[in-house]
Structure 1
Amino acid sequence: MHIPNINSIDLNLLKVFDAVYREGNVAAAARRMGMSQPAASHALARLRHALGDDLFVRSARGMLPTARAEQVAGPIRQALGYLELGLQSHVFDPATSTHRFSVALDNCSAIALTARILSGVSQAAPGVSIHLRPSGTIDVDGMMDASELDLFIGRPGESRERFCSQVVSSDPFVVVHPGHSNSLDGVMSVEELVSTPHLQLSSTGDDTSFLDAWLEKQGLKRTVQHSVPLLGYTSELRQKDLLVVMRRPIAEVISGDGGLSIRQLPFASPLVDTCLRWHRRVDTNPAHVWLREMIGSIVARVGTAKDSSLA
């Protein structure tokens, strides 16, 4: 394998490589870099010579990376990410900053927290922009490694040394059903649980088999009539006499539109943790610390409001 001399490689060549790797197209990479396409092509040619590899091969799907390019893409992206962080100011002023954050959320967090996060950012940091995206369609860890994602909000994942995490909420399950109260209104009886058909949410990733196990110990069984996605069940629920067992943060939001009520289960519900997850390299970065503290305080206020409704 050709081993290049690091002194012969211009930092700008690595930035062009990273842009081409991300875009899969030299012209798009050039636009991303704010340079002409011939200049980007020339830079790529210089890096090919320095590394002794073609790096990218033209195809109908764009510029496909070679095995060597795949090998160096991760280290180059991480090195550029560390350099960018190192050059950033050690002081973050939310009132004047124009920083842009990218945050991924799971379904439950997206429903329960999106409006609150946007409101909190707008009030504390009017020049800051935040890009919220669903976590179910992306490689969260890979994007954090590539410095393309600042933070994940959702259920705890597999513990990995290069990531940090913090549990910010532990929430029980409740029962949502047609009604006119949007606050926790007593305990649902066992008879209601088994006599009324249930909707099962198919897109939250939550396992509600704990309810079936508890009912089985009582010699009882519920009827799950339909299984539907989280975003498509409210009209069905309002029109029919059905129940849905879901995490309380989702229930609090969807019941606020009226026509739905929340009841507690007739036994102690298991708790589901919501955590913040970020790459260890940004652990002490002032901008990221501010973002995590702000979101953590928002979740804490939501939890306090919900707990007071139980009093």
Structure 2
Amino acid sequence: MSLKRVDLNLFRVFEAIMQSRSVSGASKDLGVTASAVSHALARLRLAVGDDLFVYGEDGMVPTPRALAIAPAIREGLGRIEDAIVARPFVPAEAARTFRIAASEYGTSEVLTGLIARLARSAPQIELCIFPYSRLDVVQQLDEGRLDLVVGWFADLPERVRRMPLLTDHEALVVRRGHPLAGRPVTREALFAYPFVVVELLGAGDQALGGFVDDRGVWRRVWIDRLLMEADADGAPVAHVAVSLPHYASVGDILARTDMVATLPERVARRLVAAGAHAALDMPHAPLEATVEAIWHQRAERDGGLQWLLGELAETVRAEAKA
């Protein structure tokens, strides 16, 4: 395929379909008829030699070829737009939606403060928060359907940038009046009771050391050193009675049973402060996990997203001092 023979507007149609996953949605975004979008797609299919999109249950599904060329097309269109329209990003005047994937923890501990901050300084900015629990969030980041992902990560590929936000530790929590409350706790004593485990992706046995590989991005799915080391030396193994993809119900479960839960310390503190739960002494050094924001390298030239990252970092710093 030679670019000399391809109308560059066809790539705008490609990007619009990639974002909306429908011909009608693309036509609305571009301000043209659905027939014009279909005709443009037919021309691009002929030029590329691939179907690019096929019909599926949820709309137009991109082919492997479409997914492969999408990042380059998006970057190329972005550079053209930057070259033609060099306008500064003015937060107080900007009307933009940022799409962020975050866990329940990331939303409550990181994004809530950001939302309050933006409500004052950039009232027309919208944050659309998607579940971190989906196994395709990195694909959405690659495709430009997400701007940021907030979570716990280990190894990252070169195309992904990262910014540490805050560090948390694991804590053991039981109901108030639990037989283990108020006394030294050994691992053997803990394992006499069933556990509640929060696995953010519901990945179960697929997690290695608490992480799962999502397109080269290693995402933490649970924070629990006991479970990682339980059978490493032939010691007793914890019985996991309940596995959940969120923290919201853990407190109620603990209050009604003698189960034990390992939670991030910030979550544990709120439960204990409410009066119905107690924190146990750890029988080992607590596991430490850093919450980070990650984004695609192409956003390095996105003034709006770079501003948002700065606001996010400042929010975390301000709340740490409070």
Report TM bin, short chain: 0.7 to 0.9
Whole-Å separation in 2 of the counterparts to 1:143 and 1:265: 38
> In structure 2, the residue corresponding to 1:166 is in which secondary structure?
strand
Aligned length: 295
Q: Match for 2:152: what amino acid?
A: R
> In structure 2, the residue corresponding to 1:18 is in which secondary structure?
helix
Contact 1:194 1:222 in 2 (8 A): no
Bigger radius of gyration, 1 or 2?
1
Q: Match for 2:32: what amino acid?
A: M
Contact 1:255 1:262 in 2 (8 A): yes
Among 5, 10, 14, the alignment partner of 2:11 is 14
Of 153-162 and 74-83, the range deviating more from structure 2 = 74-83
Q: How far has the Cα of 1:30 moved from its partner?
A: 1.4
Q: Could you tell me which residue of structure 1 aligns to residue 142 of structure 2?
A: 145
Q: Could you tell me which residue of structure 2 aligns to residue 116 of structure 1?
A: 113
TM-score, normalising length from structure 2?
Answer: 0.75
Whole-Å separation in 1 of the counterparts to 2:66 and 2:91: 38
Among 288, 305, 318, the alignment partner of 1:271 is 288
Greater helix fraction, Structure 1 or Structure 2: 1
Q: Could you tell me which residue of structure 1 aligns to residue 308 of structure 2?
A: 291
Q: Could you tell me which residue of structure 1 aligns to residue 189 of structure 2?
A: 194
Q: Could you tell me which residue of structure 1 aligns to residue 276 of structure 2?
A: 259
Whole-Å separation in 1 of the counterparts to 2:68 and 2:240: 50
Contact 1:111 1:253 in 2 (8 A): no
Q: Match for 2:184: what amino acid?
A: S
Whole-Å separation in 2 of the counterparts to 1:174 and 1:57: 48
Whole-Å separation in 2 of the counterparts to 1:65 and 1:179: 52
Whole-Å separation in 1 of the counterparts to 2:164 and 2:151: 9
Report Cα offsets for 1:47-67 as digits up to 9, x if no partner: 345x16363576565656566
> In structure 1, the residue corresponding to 2:285 is in which secondary structure?
coil
- Tell me, which stretches of 5 or more residues in structure 1 are unaligned? 181-185, 306-311
- Tell me, which stretches of 5 or more residues in structure 2 are unaligned? 201-220
Q: Does 1:246 align with 2:263?
A: yes
Whole-Å separation in 1 of the counterparts to 2:153 and 2:53: 39
Q: How far has the Cα of 1:300 moved from its partner?
A: 3.5
Contact 2:185 2:281 in 1 (8 A): no
Report Cα offsets for 1:253-303 as digits up to 9, x if no partner: 555655334455254312112111112222253322221122223334455
Contact 1:198 1:243 in 2 (8 A): yes
Of 150-159 and 124-133, the range deviating more from structure 2 = 150-159
1:1-311 correspondence to structure 2 within 5 Å: 3-4=1-2, 6-49=3-46, 51=47, 53=49, 55-56=51-52, 61=57, 69=66, 71-84=68-81, 89=86, 91-179=88-176, 189-190=184-185, 194=189, 197-204=193-200, 205-210=221-226, 213=229, 224=239, 226-229=241-244, 230=246, 231-255=248-272, 259-304=276-321
Whole-Å separation in 2 of the counterparts to 1:118 and 1:244: 29
> In structure 1, the residue corresponding to 2:254 is in which secondary structure?
helix
Query: What is the root-mean-square deviation in Å for CA atoms of aligned residues?
Result: 3.6
TM-score, normalising length from structure 1?
Answer: 0.77
> In structure 2, the residue corresponding to 1:168 is in which secondary structure?
strand
